[in-house]
A and B are shown apart, each in its own frame.
Chain A
Amino acid sequence: MTNEDKIIDVARYLEGDMEAGELQAFEGLLKQDPELQKLLTEYQDIHQTLKMRIAADPADKAVENRLKELNGQYFTAEAKTVVLNSYLKWISIAAVLLIGLFVWAPWSGGLYEKYAISRQMSVAERGTGAEEKIEDAAALYNAGDFSAAIKILAPVYQSNPERAMVAYYYGIALMESGQEKEARKVLLKLYEGTSVFKYDALYNVGLSYVKEKNPKEALVWLSKIPSADPNYEQAKELMEKLK
Chain B
Amino acid sequence: MAKNIHADQRFIVGLVNNDAVIINDIYKRCAHKIKSWITFNNGSEDDAADIFQESLMDIYRQGKYKSLELTCPFEPYLLLVCKRKWLNQIKKRSILPVTNLEEDLLAIGEDTFAQADELENQARQSDLFYSAFEKLGARCQEIISWSMKGEAQEKVAEALGVTYGYLRKKKSECMATLIKMVQSIKTEE
Contact = CB atoms under 8 A, between A and B. Distances in A.
Contacts of A3: 183
Interface stretch (B46-54, B85-93, B101-109): B46-54
A126 B140 CA distance: 12
B45 to A, nearest CB: 5
Interface in B153-179: 153, 155-156, 158-159, 161, 168-169, 171-173, 175-176, 178-179
A196 B176 CA distance: 26
A74 B145 contact: no
B1 interface: no
A52 B18 CA distance: 17
A197 B156 CA distance: 10
B20 interface: yes
Interface in B3-58: 15, 18, 20, 23-24, 27, 31-32, 35, 45-46, 48-49, 52-53, 56-57
A76 B45 contact: yes
Interface string B105-129: 0000000000000000010011001
Q: Is the interface of A mostly helix, strand, loop or mixed?
A: helix
B60 interface: yes
Contact of B171 (A17, A42, A62, A163): A17
Interface residues of A, number: 53
B61 interface: yes
A42 B129 contact: no
B31 A52 contact: no
A54 B61 CA distance: 13
Contacts of B168: 15-17
A16 B156 CA distance: 15
Nearest to B54: A67
Contact of A48 (B32, B65, B158, B169): B65
Contacts of A240: none
Interface in A127-146: 127, 131
A175 to B, nearest CB: 21
Contacts, number: 149
Contacts of B130: 50, 53-54
A193 to B, nearest CB: 9
A85 to B, nearest CB: 30
A11 B53 contact: no
Interface of B: 15, 18, 20, 23-24, 27, 31-32, 35, 45-46, 48-49, 52-53, 56-57, 60-61, 64-66, 122, 125-126, 129-130, 133, 138-139, 141-142, 144-151, 153, 155-156, 158-159, 161, 168-169, 171-173, 175-176, 178-180, 182-183
CB-based closest 7 A-B pairs = A125-B138, A55-B148, A75-B49, A74-B31, A71-B49, A11-B176, A11-B172
19 contacts: A7-B180, A10-B179, A11-B175, A39-B179, A49-B122, A52-B66, A53-B129, A57-B150, A60-B57, A60-B64, A64-B53, A67-B23, A75-B45, A124-B146, A125-B139, A127-B138, A131-B138, A195-B155, A196-B158
Given A42-B179, A165-B159, 10 more contacts: A7-B179, A17-B171, A48-B65, A49-B65, A50-B126, A50-B148, A52-B61, A63-B23, A124-B138, A164-B159
